[in-house]
Amino acid sequence: MKRILTANWLLALAGAALTAMALAGTARAASTPRPHLITRWENFTTANGMPDAKVFCVTVDGERVWAGTEDGLVLIEHGKVARVFKTEDGLAHRVVMGIALDQATGDLWIATFGGVSHFSGGRFENFTNLTSGLLNDICYGIAVQDKFVWVTTTAGVSRYNTYTGEWTNWSEKNAPFHEPWTYGVAIADNIGKIYFAMWGGGLIEYDQVQKYMKAYTDPDEEMELVLFKNQGLVHIIVSNVAYNPDTKMVWASTYFGLSGYDGRNWHNYLNKDSGLASDFINAPKTRRNEVWNCTDKGLSYLDYKTNTWVNYRPDKNTGHGEIEIVWPDKTKTKLETPTALAHNYILNMDFQGEDIWVATAQGLSHGIREIQKENQLYASARNRRSPGKDAPAHSQEGR
């Protein structure tokens, strides 16, 4: 009898402890700030003026928006496709992979599969491997830093001095590139660094003062596994890179997860242990405490401060927009909007105030935040943090 009483007492104590832990978790979740939501989408496709369905990149220029497609450069103005520039207009190549805005002059620098185009005063000036010091004509990323234009190519990194016309190049011959194929570039002026995303070569950090390059690679050297989660870069195949001057963190997207680096510590995120929509990430974009990830399964947003995730994707069955919020305690809230992203395969994005512009495999999407609709969505959410359950809610507009 004494043993039975002791066992019952231990079970009651364990149950009380579990209840206390659950209540504490609920309290923590309830105190988490609500993330801002994109509540409406407007899409630009071949049906309303886009020259091609696939949009590789997008850059916001004040009220104007520039998009790079598989068949030309597109200008969006006043809510519609205002102009399409192609090779017959002077563009170096029809495939546009990157667009950089020179904030000082308003000029555009454009990375294409046929070299670099400089768009100024309505005219194009082109730079190719044959006509300039550009390493290779297959260009992926581009960034403007004062007088310098940085270009990432299949053969390495090129830098153009707009004052002197001089080109400086880095390849496997003079830099720690395991592979010269370079996808993205991010300027980190407030810490004196430039970062490059390398296909198979990891993340490259260039110290502008010391004129020195350092390679960050996957420490476990396992192509398919992550053995040491936060010990370094999650994978050596880095698809793109973004730098956040507010947090002084660099973010590297890979096809096997997301890595953030603050100069001392690595912070890695995988689909299996976070709210990340997919480990296959084409590009990150970051500001404030926000990290937006362009994945093959939707747009995946991380609030780095609260560890809250918000995923946006079109519902395959209804065509409506699906919003999935993954809270810090791993519970989920699912919301629905009448409009959706053009496609779930996301290639890039940019910010326009509280709105966003998203490049997808089937068009360009303009995501709009409407505070009243956001409040309505949250108000209609039922049991949004029920452990182990999804809590659906629907926007009533258009239903």
pLDDT at site 386: 45
pLDDT at site 287: 94
pTM above 0.95, yes or no: no
What does CATH list as the number for 46-308+337-368?
2.130.10.10
Give mean pLDDT in consecutive 10-residue pieces for the chain, a chain of 399 residues: 44 44 42 89 97 98 97 97 98 98 97 98 96 97 97 98 97 91 96 95 94 84 52 91 96 96 93 95 96 98 95 94 94 95 98 98 97 90 51 36
pLDDT at site 32: 74
pLDDT at site 232: 82
Secondary structure (H, E, C), the chain: CHHHHHHHHHHHHHHHHHHHHHHHHHHHHHCCCCCCCCCEEEEECHHHCCCCCCEEEEEEECCEEEEEECCEEEEEECCEEEEEECHHHCCCCCCEEEEEECCCCCCEEEEEECEEEEEECCEEEEECCCCCCCCCCCEEEEEEECCEEEEEECCEEEEEECCCCCEEEECCCCCCCCCCCEEEEEEEHHHCEEEEEEECCEEEEEECCCCEEEEECCCCCCCCCCCCCCCCCCCCEEEEEEEECCCCEEEEEECCEEEEECCCCEEEECHHHCCCCCCCEEEEEEECCEEEEEECCEEEEEECCCCEEEEEEECCCCCCEEEEEECCCCCEEEEEECCCCCCCCEEEEEEECCEEEEEECCEEEEEECCHHHHHHHHHHCCCCCCCCCEEEEECCCCC
The Cβ of residue 18 has, within 10 Å, a number of other Cβ atoms equal to 10
